[in-house]
Structure formats: C-alpha cells, structure tokens
C-alpha cells in the first residue's frame, strides 16, 4: 500500500509524479523552513525564480530552462503549503472542467480576453 507521505514513484528516475505527490514532497523537504520564513519571504524567493525563468527564456538558454521551470513550480508549491492551499484541488476546481471564462475544453474566449 502507498504511504501518503511518500511520492508514488518507486525510483528517482521515474518521470511520473502527480501534483499531489509533489506538494507532499515539497512539504516534507521544506515545510518547516517555509513556515518559519513566512509568506512574504517565500513570495520574494518565488519572484526571484520567476525572474530567473524570464532570463533563461529571453536568452534562449535551453540548458537552464528545465531547472528554472522546476524552481518556479517548486516555489509556487511552497507558497501554497505556507498558506494551506491544496494545489490539485485548486487547479481542478478552476480548470478541471474547462476554461473558467467560456467553460469550453478548447478555449473560445475572444483574443482580447485573458484566458
Ligand atoms: Zn475561454
């Protein structure tokens, strides 16, 4: 049986990791430090990582893109842990059944609208 505190992947080379498992992994690795730092400090680190992703995208540094995407998702997940948001639930509620703007699976919102 699976342990709810462990990722379901059985080996480090597995390429399957659910968002739920990732959020639990981040909690296990960083949860205590994250709560001590608080939401303001965590948000600053998140924004720094977003800036690094922007740099990697702008400079076309393909070798660094993977890592920067991973960092941004990791810090976003950390922030969700600090404020007690279940990311899987949040994403499913908002996007799980289609575009939040037009409710379609393939967005049909006019191009001038954000979605
Ligand atoms: Zn739409």
Could you tell me the residue ranges of all domains in the chain?
19-84
What was the pLDDT predicted at 13?
A: 57
> Yes or no: is domain 19-84 CATH 1.10.10.1800?
no
Q: Which residue is listed with tokens 């400090």?
A: 41
Under the banding of pLDDT at 50, 70 and 90, the label for residue 8 is very low
Cβ neighbours of residue 20 closer than 8 Å, sequence gap 6 or more: 86, 87, 88
**How far does residue 95's CA lie from ligand 1's centre (Å)?**
10
Q: In whole angstroms, how far apart are CA 72 and each of 7, 12, 40, 114? A: 20, 20, 16, 21
Report how far residue 115's alpha carbon sits from residue 110's, in angstroms, rounded to the nearest whole number: 9
**How far does residue 104's CA lie from ligand 1's centre (Å)?**
6
What was the pLDDT predicted at 94?
A: 96
53-83 confidence digits (pLDDT tens): 999 999 988 889 999 999 999 999 999 999 9
Torsion of CA 5, 80, 58, 68, to 10 degrees: -20
**How far does residue 97's CA lie from ligand 1's centre (Å)?**
11
20-56 confidence digits (pLDDT tens): 999 999 999 999 999 999 999 999 999 999 999 999 9
Contact present, 81 and 23 (Cβ < 8 Å): yes
**How far does residue 107's CA lie from ligand 1's centre (Å)?**
4
């Amino acid at each position: 049986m699976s342990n709810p505190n462990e990722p379901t992947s059985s080996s480090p080379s597995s390429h399957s990791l659910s968002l739920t498992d990732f959020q639990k992994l981040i909690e296990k690795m960083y949860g205590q430090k994250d709560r001590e730092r608080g939401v303001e400090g965590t948000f600053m680190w998140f924004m720094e990582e977003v800036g690094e992703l922007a740099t990697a995208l702008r400079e076309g540094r393909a070798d660094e893109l993977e890592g920067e995407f991973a960092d941004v998702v990791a810090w976003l997940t950390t922030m969700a842990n600090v404020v007690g948001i279940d990311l899987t639930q949040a994403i499913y509620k908002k996007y799980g059944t289609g575009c939040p703007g037009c409710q379609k699976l393939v967005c049909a919102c006019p191009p001038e609208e954000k979605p």
